[in-house]
Structure 1
Amino acid sequence: MTKNKKLLLYIAATTLSVYFLFLGLAKAKGFFAPLITAVILSLVVLPLSNRLENFMKRPLAALINSILLFAVSIGLLALISAQIRSFSNDWPQIKDTMAPKIEQLKNFALEHTPLSQQDLKEAKGGSSSLSGGVQKKITSFISGLTSFVANYLLVFVYVFFLLNYRNIFKDFLLRVFPNEKRDAVKTVINKSIKVAPQYLLGKLVLMGLLAVIYSIGLGISGVNNFILVSVIAALLTLIPYVGNILGFTMAVAFGFLTSGDTTVLIGIALTFTLTQFVESYVLQPYIVGERVDVHPFFVIISVIVGNMVWGIIGMILAIPIMGIITVILLNIKQLKAFGILFSKKEFSEQN
């Protein structure tokens, strides 16, 4: 009975600890999200930084890498901004094209559902009543935009300091552990810093191939700005699972909603269906492959948890973070069982 009570106590304590850990991470998103993003980006450009340091001093190499990452991010934001601007320009045409289809949908709803004209009028009136909170929405938007810009710039400041002073952090980790464990700690550090670059390098190659495939399919289907749409749809695959849905929605907006042609919608659906099949069963295993040793089941769980804790940025960071955690667990004897659980390799391969 005493053992059972202890077991229940340990389970309760563990559950509460995990709950408050994730609650704390969610509350501290403004601090941890930019910092963890900077850590992952620093690991990605670390090989380039090491090469540059053969020709220049470390602070200058760190500065160049920070500026390079900033320039790449600005380019991505410009792509997305151009797409949004194009969508806003096409909006009048989309409204005119979709008006008859919306009317048909309304008539279908009136004929085949319990809805009445009064219900539709009330729904329409309810949506117009939201205009009273426009000022509040604008204030909230400005506040959110200010916070985003501050965190966005802070990421690159973090990247500079992490690259420039990385030896200090590494030395600190080595000194925390006893001398007899330093070799094992070095092994864990060296393996961990390779996870993020390998994963993102594989993802970049994969996104390039996906952009080409999407461009061919969407171009044949008759989607407006199909090259730009294809590039952004490929970039959105950085967000696991959800990114594919966003890419499909965007293609529908610039294809079917603009033209109203059902054949365009069929072409978009076929393009994304075939591309997802090729990605999942051909490109993903051979290009990304073993770069991140995390079981697909725990990939899904980590993405869901990342979304709950930090939203979209949490979903993007979830897989490399989970990969690093798995590497650490596999190299700690007392926690190796958890590493084997999270890993997609068989138990026999771990021994």
Structure 2
Amino acid sequence: MITKKNLLLYGTAFILGIYFLFLGLTKAKGFFAPLVTAIILSLVVLPLSQLMEKKMKRPVAAILNSLLLFAISIGLMALVSFQIRSFAEDWPEIKKTMQPKIEQFKNFALEHTPLDEEDIKEAKNESSKAPSNTSDKITKFMSGLSSFLANYLLTFVYVFFLLNYRDVFKGFFLRIFPDKRRDTVKTIITKSAKVAPQYLLGKLILMGLLAVLYSIGLGISGVDNFILVSVIAAVLTLIPYVGNIIGFTMAVAFGFLSSGDTTVLIGIALTFTITQFVESYVLQPYVVGERVDVHPFFVIVSVILGNMVWGVIGMILAIPVMGIITVVLLNINELKPFGILFSKKEFSE
């Protein structure tokens, strides 16, 4: 029988364990983030790799799939960098166009708020100060860049080894558990391997539909390079919730800031509002649907935790990782109550 003292002890130990688990994951981001990313990517291309292995040797298929993922990632980064460069080239014209709007906003603030000219001047002077050293900025940037490139390339090396030696890893998991658990472990491995591909397939279909909807709305609104902006905004939905905000901000930058036309801003706002409504209540349930069995509440919780632990990459990985965890919990009798808690399926007695 569990006494109040034991319950308090177990509860305290559980909370401390969770705290130190997430603290350790945060500190070890440089090791675990590329590894977990590689595991998810490996599961995504696993069906393609298995298909290719019927025509060629496994190491060759593993290398080709690693290079395919590398090429896709380079293409996405090139797409984003092209749009950023275009924005930078248009920045002088944007500043000129927005100057009257800024003056109107300034006059409105002076007339309808307690602010005065001195407050605005002080705020401008504070924002123009540069307290940090340029050399420190360059050093910090180069350090961050080198770390990113190392982890970025290491991810695709991991993908190759995970695909090529997957039987070794599978055999390891089957042998560390008792024979009576072997069937359960096989079921968990099989179901877990399907979570990431199913989630990505649903997301790709969803992004394609969103790109079309964004293109129609932004094109009518008069946004420059509306097709490219729409594609990037759709791809950014890989980052749950935050990606939509970034996409909207980018559309405003290339639409309203470039033209200064208020009707363009209204068109952008309507486009994103209507599209997000369609995504949340029509596309998301029917396109992504049952591909990842995680309750919406725990989707939000996992995304927040992912951001706290690993930042943007943590937010992207949060949903497929949570889906795999739910599969594991649902197939272990002792932990099934937690699986039922995280799952969006209704369970009856």
Give TM-score scaled by structure 2 length: 0.98
Deviations 1:73-121 (A, max 9, x none): 0100110011001100110111011111112222222233232322222
Counterparts of 2:6 and 2:130, CA distance in 1: 54
Change in Cα spacing, 1:131 to 1:95, as seen in structure 2 (3 Å) is farther
- The aligned amino acid for 2:186 is K
Counterparts of 2:95 and 2:322, CA distance in 1: 44
Q: Which stretch of the first structure deviates more once superposed, 63-72 or 127-136?
A: 127-136
- The aligned amino acid for 1:217 is G
Residue 48 of structure 1 corresponds to 48
Counterparts of 1:335 and 1:128, CA distance in 2: 56
Residue 35 of structure 1 corresponds to 35
- The aligned amino acid for 1:336 is K
Counterparts of 1:123 and 1:141, CA distance in 2: 27
- The aligned amino acid for 1:337 is P
Quote the RMSD (CA, aligned, Å): 1.3
1:130 partner SS: coil
> Are 1:149 and 2:149 matched, yes or no?
yes
Change in Cα spacing, 1:215 to 1:239, as seen in structure 2 (3 Å) is same
Residue 22 of structure 2 corresponds to 22
Counterparts of 1:181 and 1:328, CA distance in 2: 13
Displaced runs of 4 or more, over 3 A: none
Counterparts of 1:66 and 1:129, CA distance in 2: 46
Aligned positions of 1:1-351 closer than 5 A: 3-130=3-130, 132-348=132-348
Shift of residue 286 of structure 1?
1.0
Deviations 1:204-240 (A, max 9, x none): 0110111111111111110000000000000000000
Counterparts of 1:250 and 1:10, CA distance in 2: 48
Shift of residue 145 of structure 1?
1.1
Counterparts of 1:107 and 1:8, CA distance in 2: 60
Counterparts of 1:2 and 1:34, CA distance in 2: 42
Aligned residues: 349
Shift of residue 267 of structure 1?
0.8
Shift of residue 142 of structure 1?
1.4
Counterparts of 2:273 and 2:114, CA distance in 1: 34
Shift of residue 321 of structure 1?
0.2
Deviations 1:1-55 (A, max 9, x none): 9811111111111111100100110110011000000000000000000011111
Unaligned runs of 5+ in 1: none
Q: Which stretch of the first structure deviates more once superposed, 36-45 or 89-98?
A: 89-98
Counterparts of 2:20 and 2:108, CA distance in 1: 49
Counterparts of 2:2 and 2:234, CA distance in 1: 56
Q: Which stretch of the first structure deviates more once superposed, 144-153 or 313-322?
A: 144-153
Shift of residue 162 of structure 1?
0.4
Counterparts of 2:279 and 2:54, CA distance in 1: 38
- The aligned amino acid for 1:236 is L
Counterparts of 1:131 and 1:72, CA distance in 2: 39
- The aligned amino acid for 2:15 is T
Give TM-score scaled by structure 1 length: 0.97
Change in Cα spacing, 1:2 to 1:330, as seen in structure 2 (3 Å) is closer
1:223 partner SS: coil
Counterparts of 1:55 and 1:123, CA distance in 2: 66
Shift of residue 138 of structure 1?
2.0
Shift of residue 134 of structure 1?
2.6
Unaligned runs of 5+ in 2: none
Counterparts of 2:140 and 2:105, CA distance in 1: 34
Shift of residue 128 of structure 1?
2.3
Shift of residue 132 of structure 1?
4.5
Counterparts of 1:19 and 1:114, CA distance in 2: 45
Counterparts of 1:176 and 1:110, CA distance in 2: 71
- The aligned amino acid for 1:82 is F
Counterparts of 2:102 and 2:133, CA distance in 1: 27
